Amino acid sequence: MASIEATKKRSRGEDNEETMDKPALKKQLLEGKSALDLILPISSITKELSDEDFRIITGTYERILYGINAYWENADDDSSSKPSLKLEPIFIVPAHTGCIRTVAIGGHFLASGSADEIIRLYDVKKRKEYGSLGGHHQGDVTDIKFHGKYMFSTSDDGTICLWRTKDWEFLKTLKGHKGRINSLAIHPSGRIALSVSSDRTVILWNLMSAKKASMTKLYRDEGLVVLWNTDGTKYAIMFDRKINVYNVSDAQVMTTIEHKSKFLCMRYFESSDKKEYIISGHEDKTIRIWEAETGKCVVEIVGHKFRIKTMETVKSKPSSESEPVTVLITASSDGVIKCWDVEAAIAAAESPEDITPLGEYNTKSRITCCTVHSGYAKTTGEVTVSEK
Q: What is the CA radius of gyration of the chain?
A: 20
66 pLDDT higher than 70: yes
Asked whether residue 10 is domain-assigned, the answer is no
Pairing of strands 286-291, 276-282: antiparallel
Asked whether residue 183 is domain-assigned, the answer is yes
Asked whether residue 284 is domain-assigned, the answer is yes
| Run of H or E including 22 | helix 22-31
Asked whether residue 54 is domain-assigned, the answer is yes
CB burial string 27-53: b at 16+ within 10 A, e below? ebeeeeebbbeebbeeeebeeeeeebb
Is the distance from CB of 308 to CB of 285 less than 8 angstroms? yes
Least confident of 24-38, 41-55, 85-99: 24-38
Burial of 379 (0-12, 13-18, 19+ CB in 10 A): exposed
- The pLDDT of residue 384: 43
Separation CA 200–CA 278 (nearest Å): 22
Separation CA 316–CA 52 (nearest Å): 11
DSSP 30: H
Instruction: Write the pLDDT tens digit of every residue in 181-209.
Output: 999 999 999 999 999 999 999 999 999 99
Averaged pLDDT for residues 261-283: 96
Asked whether residue 14 is domain-assigned, the answer is no
Separation CA 115–CA 107 (nearest Å): 25
Instruction: Write the pLDDT tens digit of every residue in 130-156.
Output: 888 988 899 999 999 999 999 999 999
How confident is residue 314, by pLDDT bands cut at 50, 70 and 90? very high
Separation CA 140–CA 217 (nearest Å): 24
CB burial string 249-258: b at 16+ within 10 A, e below? eeeeeebebe
DSSP 91: E
Bridge-partner residues for 212, per DSSP?
Answer: 205
Tell me, what CATH number does 75's domain have?
Answer: 2.130.10.10
| Cα-based distances in Å from 307 to 169, 233, 282 | 38, 31, 6
Asked whether residue 157 is domain-assigned, the answer is yes
Least confident of 17-31, 158-172, 264-278, 312-326: 17-31
Asked whether residue 8 is domain-assigned, the answer is no
Separation CA 188–CA 229 (nearest Å): 9
Is the distance from CB of 206 to CB of 176 less than 8 angstroms? no
How confident is residue 371, by pLDDT bands cut at 50, 70 and 90? very high
Number of domains in the chain: 1
- The pLDDT of residue 20: 39
Bridge-partner residues for 114, per DSSP?
Answer: 100
For all residues of the chain together, what is the average pLDDT?
Answer: 85
Asked whether residue 216 is domain-assigned, the answer is yes
Which domain, by its residues, includes 42?
Answer: 22-384
Q: What angle do CA 335, 336, 342 make, to 5 degrees?
A: 135
